[in-house]
Amino acid sequence: MLNHGAVDRIFHALGDSNRRAIVERLSRGTMSVSDLAKPLDITLAAVVQHLQVLEESGLVRTEKIGRVRSCQLEPGGLRVAEDWLSNRRGLWERRFDRLGELLDGPERPNPTPRKKAKT
């Protein structure tokens, strides 16, 4: 059974282009917060806030070592979204298969049109 709260948090986290950019950069490997912030046109404080949302959603894990906060993707974080999308895809594939079966079924003769009564 899917946890709808977790699904909501994942899609909320991925709903922002800056957070998607952070996830994309972290897919290349672990980075510090300051390295993540360099190409983004936002403040370091804003990056920290975005990371907090990503961490709460389960997509990112951060760890402070000395004065440096390192960030990395959480390997199973996207699994929640993947499961939700997979369930939707399966539902629609079954519906399309059924529609295809109905459309490929034996043709029925067209009923003869009724003549309009004269008034």
- Report pLDDT digits (tens) over 34-58: 999 999 999 999 999 999 999 999 9
Q: What is the mean pLDDT of residues 85-90?
A: 82
Q: What is the mean pLDDT of residues 66-77?
A: 91
- pLDDT over 90 percentage in the chain: 55
List CB contacts of 23: < 8 A, sequence separation 6 or more: 14, 54, 59, 60, 73
* Secondary-structure percent of the chain, ordered helix, strand, coil, rounded to 5: 55, 10, 35
Measured distance CA(18)–CA(9) in Å, rounded: 16
Q: Tell the residue number behind the tokens 């806030």, with chain if given.
A: 49
